[in-house]
């Protein structure tokens, strides 16, 4: 018995059995005592979340803990597919929250086990306690004030509870655990930083989709807490100010109908990370992308109205479009901020990845918006034959030219921003390379659109469209491509290609 509790792998066995026992109890309560599945899910959420927070105190190495997370990620995924463990999977909607939970724990252990275990514990406790309370509060109200950002309905009462519990947990947990791990903090610091971490956690929960809150909330809280607690006083003030400014920017974008409600929420989260963690040289290129692209969309709205029946998404950008265009740039910004001290010689690498992704997003948007004004039929990127306007993979001379100009504009903005604000010289060769990288990203978008992107044919008007709903027909027949390859997936591939090629440019030029 002593062997089991005195070694990491013995504790690994006990830890695993403990989690399985909790899952078994939830299944028993559901099947034998007819306890509501929402209650059993919340019970598991709280108990497992609290249990895993014991790990840093009893394990010497993080590797057994990582293996536990990996095992339950696979087990929960298989249980969902095989309709098992209904005590945690019985819901009225499709949710992979039980899969995302151990994934988020895995990421947080990798990130904070040695760096700052107080943040690891705080982020997990916010998820373990705040989310179930928010769910219970929202469902217990007779007349909840409901709103819908994506597919999941939320309540104002539940969101308020999410913020309040997250705030209390962030304050108390960081104050207590930082003291335990010999990193004491004053109460004013715990309260101030806890407030901003709670805002970000509540925002992440609000835009969650099919259980993604179990990933977004703890990771988001961990990012903000790490940035605040490890930053200089000047940076801490900078991040907190930009969290407020991006609220105003997102609101104005929504008010002017440039972004949907979900798009505004996504832009706030993305803007907080890029503007808050990055410097001015990171802000300027993405502001130029958004401002110029929105202006082009507005200028050609009337002319392009005929294409609205073809394109999957037009007009206001939603959260999926926001992250498809800016997600790679956001990750590059995070890598630059958190890894620069570890790999100081690679600072320019993250910036060129960022710039390549934004250049590709700009090239794709400008190519589409300007190409719609062409008086000539586009040419297919596959067959080089004329195709109807709006056809995925169609290229025009003015559209391709516009794509390159847009990409060049981002490269120029990056060069002068980097030079002015950091005194780092970016050569004109790099500018032309990033311009070409952006154009290549747009061409990748066109190629995928012509080959694997889902295309449907309306049974009423016979038009080929990216939409699944047309002429009041739902779930219209798929005629080419794959259903999972949507316009957002193609746009993400575009920015990913731009980012990777931007990184390649670093290897070739620096």
pLDDT at 117 (0 to 100): 95
Average pLDDT over residues 194-221: 90
- pLDDT value at position 297? 76
**pTM value surpassing 0.75:** yes
* Band (89; pLDDT cuts 50, 70, 90): low
What is d(CA 476, CA 459) in angstroms, rounded to the nearest whole number? 7
Give the mean pLDDT of the chain. 86
Q: What is the pLDDT of residue 88?
A: 58
CA distance 322 to 298: 17
Q: Give the whole-angstrom CA distance, residue 266 versus residue 204.
A: 9
Answer yes or no: is pLDDT of 302 > 60. no
Q: Quote the CA–CA distance of 439 and 367 in Å, as a whole number.
A: 9
Contact 382, 389 (CB under 8 A): no
Q: How confident is the model at residue 411 (pLDDT cuts 50, 70, 90)?
A: very high
- Report pLDDT digits (tens) over 107-139: 999 999 999 999 999 999 999 999 889 888 888
Q: Determine the Cα–Cα distance for residues 424 and 510; give it in Å rounded to an integer.
A: 12
Higher pLDDT, 362 or 374: 362
Q: Is 315 left (phi over 0), alpha (psi -120 to 50) or beta?
A: left
The pLDDT of residue 394 is: 84
Alpha-carbon separation of residue 369 from 91, 314, 366, 374 (angstroms) = 42, 10, 5, 10
pLDDT value, residue 92: 53
Q: What is the pLDDT of residues 243-267, one digit of tens each?
A: 999 999 888 888 888 888 888 998 9
Residues paired with residue 395 on neighbouring β-strands, in sequence order: 379
Min mean pLDDT across 35-39, 291-295, 384-388 is at: 35-39
Short-list 139, 118, 136, 130, CA closest to 57:
118
- In the predicted structure, residue 436 carries a pLDDT above the cut 90: yes
pLDDT band at 140 (very low <50, low <70, confident <90, very high): confident
pLDDT at 372: 80
Average pLDDT over residues 293-306: 68
Burial code (b: 16+ CB inside 10 Å, e: under 16) for 13-37 equals eebbeebeebbeebbebbeeeeeeb
What pLDDT is recorded for position 3? 53
């Amino acid at each position: 018995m002593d062997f089991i509790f005195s070694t990491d792998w013995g504790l690994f066995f006990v830890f695993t059995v403990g989690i399985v026992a909790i899952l078994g109890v939830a299944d028993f309560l559901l099947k034998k005592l007819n306890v509501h599945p929402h209650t059993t899910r919340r019970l598991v959420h709280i108990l497992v979340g609290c249990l895993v927070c014991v790990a840093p105190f009893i394990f010497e190495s993080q590797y057994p803990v990582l293996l536990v997370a990996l095992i339950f990620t696979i087990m929960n995924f298989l249980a969902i597919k095989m309709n098992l463990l209904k005590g945690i999977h019985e819901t009225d909607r499709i949710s992979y929250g039980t899969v995302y939970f151990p994934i988020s724990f895995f990421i947080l252990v990798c990130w904070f086990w040695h760096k700052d275990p107080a943040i690891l514990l705080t982020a997990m406790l916010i998820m373990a306690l705040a989310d179930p309370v928010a769910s219970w509060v929202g469902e217990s109200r007779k007349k909840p004030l409901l709103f819908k950002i994506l597919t999941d309905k939320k309540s104002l009462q539940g969101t308020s509870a999410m913020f309040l519990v997250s705030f209390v947990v962030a304050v108390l947990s960081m104050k207590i655990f930082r003291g335990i791990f010999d990193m004491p903090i004053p109460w004013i610091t715990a309260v101030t930083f806890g407030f901003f971490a709670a805002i970000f956690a509540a925002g992440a929960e609000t835009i969650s989709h099919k259980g993604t809150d179990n990933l977004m909330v703890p990771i988001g809280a961990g990012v903000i807490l790490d940035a605040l607690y490890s930053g200089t006083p000047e940076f801490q003030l900078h991040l907190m100010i930009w969290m407020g400014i991006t609220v105003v920017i997102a609101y104005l974008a929504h008010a002017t109908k440039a972004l949907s409600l979900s798009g505004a929420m996504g832009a706030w989260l993305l803007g907080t990370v890029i503007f808050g963690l990055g410097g001015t040289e990171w802000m300027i290129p993405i502001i130029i992308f958004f401002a110029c692209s929105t202006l082009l969309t507005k200028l050609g709205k009337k002319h392009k109205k005929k294409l609205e029946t073809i394109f999957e998404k037009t007009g206001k950008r939603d959260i999926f479009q926001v992250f498809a265009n800016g997600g790679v740039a956001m990750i590059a910004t995070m890598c630059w901020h958190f890894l620069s001290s570890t790999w100081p010689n690679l600072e320019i690498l993250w910036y060129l990845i960022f710039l390549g992704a934004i250049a590709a997003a700009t090239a794709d948007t400008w190519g589409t918006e300007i190409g719609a004004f062409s008086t000539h039929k586009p040419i297919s990127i596959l067959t080089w034959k004329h195709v109807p306007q709006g056809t995925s993979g169609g290229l025009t001379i003015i559209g391709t030219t516009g794509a390159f100009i847009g990409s060049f504009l981002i490269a120029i903005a990056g060069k002068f921003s980097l030079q002015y604000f950091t005194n780092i010289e970016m050569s004109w060769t790099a500018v032309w390379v990033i311009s070409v990288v952006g154009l290549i990203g747009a061409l990748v978008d066109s190629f995928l659109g012509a080959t694997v992107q889902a295309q449907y044919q309306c049974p009423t008007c016979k038009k080929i469209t990216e939409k699944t709903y047309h002429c009041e027909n739902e779930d219209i027949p798929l005629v080419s491509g794959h259903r999972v390859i949507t316009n957002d997936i193609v746009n993400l591939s575009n920015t990913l290609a731009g980012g990777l090629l931007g990184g390649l440019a670093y290897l070739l030029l620096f």
